[in-house]
A and B are shown apart, each in its own frame.
Chain A
């Protein structure tokens, strides 16, 4: 059973304007890690908006967990290139934000706050932010802010995690650290992930399946399963099969950019 399914989906942001994505069909298994890559402006983020129900499709159907999406989903976690942490809240309070909104946590928050805060602390500890719970976001480095942002996306145990270029603004070393962090979180307690990225190494390292999208209007051009054994170590990025995947995907992107 597919967890997310797109059937011939097109979306124009305004009626009559050109499609941002056109005739996209894809299916994501439960707990699959997929990555969307493609040139700038190819509608990768549009796919995210459709999955989360923030935008309805102009044509076609989007199903999540067997039901057609009609309005914002409630079981989704999201993280973006900017961490979007609230500057008036401490790290811990930021991570607790979904607990104040998502059921069943919301209605039980008053009674079980201590328990939920313990969960948030445990999650922060797993991503290496122990001791920073009471710091404000602007007291953290960019990489730490992004770790906190991903904690916020995961605290309510969503079945679907949407990552929109979450490592785009980080330096290369921090980025690799965060790849491993996401890999570990996902491997310990699997959930379905959609990762939008420009970075082909990132896509190949993390994902089970990589989709290459065309220029606007975005279509799925290539679907590539990544058959690298798991758990993957950073060392794998220097192996021959890894390089072959990246090279192959790079060539597809190159063709798109030339056309």
Chain B
């Protein structure tokens, strides 16, 4: 018998395996033509055939995403700290931020292309624009929900606003911040791939665009799977960092489940 713990650890792999088998069975069983929906084995063959270009484009997408995400983290932290620690800035910026976040970023790519030309820069900026919002909101929430008594304790010691931010505000906002990083990194992949699809000649988004225009559906699916894998890996990386650095918030100092 499998123990509960092993089962939990194996569960995601079992689901992926089951889905893969189902995929293969449906496509082979119903003899779906490959230009509509390639089988998993066809996707795998295509991946091996095009290994080098896939890796090259994946690296491009990965670095683009990281660059956009990096800017989003810095801007998100600064904006979030400002919005969260000052009611005036909160009132002033919030409608603008929400409004901006409601704009579909794909609609914004053509503007970026006009400003910066086709290529890496619009992709980095789209990744940034789509992923900074959750960071701002979470950091601001973490700061704004500080207990008033705690603030009184510090102020009665003669602490400055900067002291309070450093000693209490930011450490307290860290769990919120890390939670937002997990969301932001996956959004950043969405942003960079959208931009590459619309306006680029590099990256997984471009590769999929080019492949679909030549009806090479196996390669399109290979691209989708590569993006998915990169997203999961980065998400897990930040989930791990979250558990290690803010274990106190989960009442679990060792960070192990």
Contacts between chains A and B (CB distance < 8 A), count? 61
A146 within 8 A of B: no
B167 within 8 A of A: yes
Are B156's CB and A78's CB within 8 A?
A: yes
- Stretch with Cβ within 8 A of A (4 or more), from B58-66, B112-120, B246-254: B246-254
- Stretch with Cβ within 8 A of B (4 or more), from A80-88, A205-213, A228-236: A80-88
B202 within 8 A of A: no
A-B contact pairs, 15 of them (CB 8 A): A49-B152, A53-B156, A54-B156, A72-B156, A73-B158, A76-B156, A78-B153, A80-B152, A80-B153, A86-B150, A86-B171, A87-B249, A102-B158, A103-B158, A162-B156
B163 within 8 A of A: yes
Whether A101 contacts B248 in the complex (CB less than 8 A), given A52-B152, A78-B156, comes out as no
Are A84's CB and B153's CB within 8 A?
A: yes
Partner of A138, one of B171, B172, B251: B251
Chain A residues numbered 96-152 whose CB sits less than 8 Å from any CB in chain B: 97-98, 100-103, 136, 138, 152
What would 12 more interface pairs be, CB under 8 Å, given A80-B153, A86-B168, A100-B167? Answer: A72-B155, A72-B158, A74-B157, A74-B158, A77-B156, A78-B153, A82-B147, A87-B248, A88-B172, A101-B154, A136-B248, A162-B156
Set of chain B residues within 8 Å of A138, measured between Cβ atoms = 248, 251
A156 within 8 A of B: yes
Q: How many residues of B contact A (CB 8 A)?
A: 22
Whether A82 contacts B149 in the complex (CB less than 8 A), given A74-B157, A136-B253, comes out as yes
B98 within 8 A of A: no
Q: CB-nearest residue of chain A relative to B150?
A: A84
Are B156's CB and A88's CB within 8 A?
A: no
Are A84's CB and B157's CB within 8 A?
A: no
Complex Cα distance, B137 from A189, in Å, reads 47
Complex Cα distance, B153 from A102, in Å, reads 12
One digit per residue, 1 when the CB lies within 8 angstroms of any chain A CB and 0 when it does not, for chain B 191-213 equals 00000000000000000000000
Complex Cα distance, B154 from A153, in Å, reads 10
Whether A52 contacts B156 in the complex (CB less than 8 A), given A86-B168, A136-B248, comes out as yes
Are A156's CB and B157's CB within 8 A?
A: yes
7 pairs of A and B residues whose beta carbons are closest in the complex: A74-B158, A52-B156, A88-B248, A76-B156, A101-B157, A80-B149, A101-B159
One digit per residue, 1 when the CB lies within 8 angstroms of any chain B CB and 0 when it does not, for chain A 42-65 equals 000000010011100000000000
Chain B residues numbered 130-184 whose CB sits less than 8 Å from any CB in chain A: 147, 149-150, 152-159, 163, 167-168, 171-172, 174
Q: What's the least CB distance linking A47 to chain B, in Å? A: 14
